[in-house]
Structure 1
Amino acid sequence: MVDNVNHVVHVVNHLLALQAVKAKRPETRSSWCNAVPRFDLYLCLITSSRSSGARNRRWKMFDTLKFSAVRRHLLAVAGAALIAPQVWAADPSTVTVAGYGGGLQDALIATLWKPAAEKAGLKLMTESHDGQPAVRLQVQSGKPAWDAIHIGANDCAALAKQGMLEPLDYSVIDAKGVPSLARDKNWIATNSYSVVMGWRTDKFKEGPKSWKEFWDVKKFPGRRALSVAPDEMLEVALLADGVPRAQLYPLDIKRGLASLEKIKPYVAVWWTSGAQSAQLIKDGEVDLIAIWSSRVDSVVKDKAPVAYTYEDGLLGYGCMAILKGAGNVSGAQKLIANSISAPIQARIPTMMGYYGPTNSLAFEQPGVPADALSSSNMSPANRARQTLMDARWWGEHIGDVQEDYKELIAR
């Protein structure tokens, strides 16, 4: 029976992946899928927007959020398939990894997973998932179809807390060079991103150099945009309020929300996807924005009058972990070990320039171009200008923040 459940899960995830392609699903935030209470907020934002363009974007976004309902429906319909025979057997020569799909997963396959699998003598299979609920469903089936996952570090921390992940074998995985905040007993970061300040250069000759300046509406008057998700925004709000970087964690939730209240009247848009954030600053719908560096960098390369800085930025991570009860735990350990090894991590600055490695030893490898070294968010110089996010804190406290943050935006 468990084998049949696993088969149903596998079919459902394929159907969801096809639905995502059809809907041209925007970039998925790691925290959306475990935040069902946000859905009513999105409806509120859709109906209250003054801009028809914004309404259209948000309706498109809402259409993608119907996946949870699609999942429930498909699982109910697929229940009939439980009577069908299904044979499940682990293949020690094959390792299956599931990620968010899309361009990011294509880049991860080419840059990290494929060479890591080849080095380990493994055949690589890939699937896509839609966040924490999909991972939990796989584990609860008893025999997950995936061995490893790639997901946001905050989600890794939450899934580890829920008992959904196998422990990593650090006698196989050499974590030297990976920051302590970017690894834990059950997960390790494989790529990094930054949250930075972006601004229109046709509005400001020089942009803000700190979140405190970003909050200064007299020095930098104009329309702002922040993310609809609390993770990352609570950190920048506290930095804006004067909290020293070294003392940022544990986050002072009350103080962070109070800081956000101060800037809220000047926030024209609370963006819901990376694609939307890039379009907002590119089109000049806002003058300043808190944005992922990968998104704003693409706007700059498109020759839009936009600039950004790593100064006072936040460093976040995508992580890899092994599902509890996975069929090929040993193979997954080897794949992860190779993915975070310095020689393979050194491929990121040139092949995934909009992301950074997590292993600092990557920059000591021969052949890393000087321009990649200077532009990478994780280069020694740029890393020193930023604050590393603490995924473990968010794994413990996301539920303490979500509702208050949602209410702050809605009122």
Structure 2
Amino acid sequence: MMKWDSSNYSRSRLSRRSLLQSTAATLLTAPFISTSALAQDKLAGSGEVVVFSYGGTFTEGVRKHVYEPFTKATGIKVIDVVGDFAESQVKAMNQAGRIDWDIAYIDNYQQLHDAGMFVPIDYSLWEQESLEGTPMQARLNDAVAIFGVAMLLAYDHRAFPKGGPQNWADFWDVKNFPGPRGLFAPNAPRNIVFALLADGVANKDIWPLTDDKIDRGLAKLSEIKPHITKWWTAGGEAPQLLTNREYAISSVYDGRVLSAIRQGAPIKLAWDGAALGYVNAAILKGGPNTQNAQKLIAFLNRAPIAAGWTQGTGYPGPNANQVKYLPPEMLPLINISPENAPKCVMTDSAWLEAKRPDGKTNSEYIQERWLAWRAR
């Protein structure tokens, strides 16, 4: 399942809106994706569609590269409503029996799916290029992966003039790659994933994080713990500490480091073993403009529009065909590129949301283990 590992991400109290807005701020000047070829076709209509968004420069980028071209091509107006997380508001609308939105961006998909809150996606409206470029696991019956966020290894290239670390085994290799390290404090699963990769587990064998793998990952993390000079907690912190030479190597969020690199930060990336997850877009059952919502979902997954989304926000959706519409210099910095995508480890959020025999989710159990380990 391609979804963001949001259960632990949200515990960090790191504002999603802040994370996304600050990245988009440096990308708004990217070339506008022309939609002259996107004539008014089967997506044409009238009225409006109400869409959740994160506000600020993120929404500005989406408006410019997606919503305005959609309105021009179809005649349907997009109204965006701003929030940090959609799930609580979607639940509240369902409890009140009044659904005011048409589309929400959903992190914890399974619970709302099980409650029957979403409408099946009409893939008959999609272009063939969209269907061919978007993998099946990103096209669920009632949700579509809308954008991905990866956590990956980054380093200050000034610290390694002869070549820097290329994978998580190198992160653990303090002899050949000396210097202060950083890891993200709140995110237990991804740190365990990195430890398992450093310990020789193949990408395809990482998930699920069974108890023996958790034990193995925490034991490996104990080896590197003395070299973690600061556990970072905010998305912009790791790139800044790398730039300031307070880190030599660190995990980073891809969108935030992309922003820093485009502003001249002396940072290089190693995509091998990047932990990737997707946020889903879902059409809410009972929303006021369901058919228009279907048309917007189909439109934004067209390859040139998907490229516009990436240029406007810094966070790609899963349609791989978008790369031919992106500036070549951007490709090494994004998780959708042909070079980077095969190196990523997809987060199994469905497993993280699943409940254990004691009633706790796997995510809650891992978080408890993580906090106990951090306290030692």
Specify if TM > 0.5. Answer: yes
User: Structure 1 stretch 171-180 or stretch 243-252: which is displaced more?
Assistant: 171-180
| Aligned equivalent of 2:134 | 178
Distance 1:341 1:394, change over 3 A: farther
Q: Determine if contact 1:230/1:405 at 8 Å carries over to the other structure.
A: yes
After TM superposition, give the deviation of residue 286 of structure 1 in Å. Answer: 2.1
Matched, 1:389 2:347: yes
Matched, 1:168 2:121: yes
1:148-194 C-alpha deviation (Å, 9 max, x unpaired):
11244xx2345334544333233334643212333322221122333
After TM superposition, give the deviation of residue 33 of structure 1 in Å. Answer: 7.9
Q: How far, CA to CA, are the matches of 1:231 and 1:113 in structure 2?
A: 35
Matched, 1:255 2:216: yes
1:207 corresponds, among 164, 175, 178, to 164
What SS does the aligned partner of 1:199 have? Answer: strand
Q: How far, CA to CA, are the matches of 1:169 and 1:207 in structure 2?
A: 46
Relative contact order higher in (CA < 8 Å, ≥ 6 apart): 2
1:314 corresponds, among 272, 275, 282, to 275
After TM superposition, give the deviation of residue 94 of structure 1 in Å. Answer: 1.5
Q: Determine if contact 2:181/2:247 at 8 Å carries over to the other structure.
A: yes
Within 5 A, what are the aligned runs for 1:340-351?
340-351=301-312
| Aligned equivalent of 1:129 | 83
Give me the CA root mean square deviation: 3.0
| Aligned equivalent of 1:68 | none
Structure 2: unaligned runs, 5 residues or longer:
19-45, 355-361
Q: How far, CA to CA, are the matches of 1:262 and 1:33 in structure 2?
A: 24
After TM superposition, give the deviation of residue 349 of structure 1 in Å. Answer: 4.9
After TM superposition, give the deviation of residue 137 of structure 1 in Å. Answer: 2.0
| Aligned equivalent of 2:38 | none
Matched, 1:377 2:335: yes
Structure 1: unaligned runs, 5 residues or longer:
1-27, 40-57, 65-91
How high is the sequence identity, in percent, across the aligned residues? 32
| Aligned equivalent of 1:141 | 96
| Aligned equivalent of 1:97 | 51
Query: Under a length normalisation based on structure 2, what TM-score does the superposition of the two structures give?
Result: 0.76
What SS does the aligned partner of 1:381 have? Answer: coil
What SS does the aligned partner of 1:299 have? Answer: helix
Q: Determine if contact 2:167/2:270 at 8 Å carries over to the other structure.
A: no
Matched, 1:338 2:291: no
When you count helix as a share of all residues, which structure comes out higher? 1
1:348-393 C-alpha deviation (Å, 9 max, x unpaired):
45444x33341112235xx544334454431212223323333333
Distance 1:150 1:109, change over 3 A: farther
Q: How far, CA to CA, are the matches of 1:210 and 1:33 in structure 2?
A: 23
Query: Match for 2:123: what amino acid?
Result: Y
Distance 1:255 1:117, change over 3 A: farther
Q: Determine if contact 2:9/2:187 at 8 Å carries over to the other structure.
A: no
Distance 1:236 1:164, change over 3 A: farther
Q: How far, CA to CA, are the matches of 1:196 and 1:344 in structure 2?
A: 26
Q: Determine if contact 2:154/2:267 at 8 Å carries over to the other structure.
A: yes
Q: Determine if contact 1:99/1:151 at 8 Å carries over to the other structure.
A: no
Q: Determine if contact 1:119/1:338 at 8 Å carries over to the other structure.
A: no
After TM superposition, give the deviation of residue 221 of structure 1 in Å. Answer: 2.6
1:114-151 C-alpha deviation (Å, 9 max, x unpaired):
33354343211011123232332233222122111124
Query: 4+ runs of 1 displaced by more than 6 Å?
Result: none
What SS does the aligned partner of 1:140 have? Answer: helix
Q: How far, CA to CA, are the matches of 2:118 and 2:287 in structure 1?
A: 9
Matched, 1:219 2:213: no
What SS does the aligned partner of 1:277 have? Answer: helix
| Aligned equivalent of 2:290 | 329
Within 5 A, what are the aligned runs for 1:43-82?
none
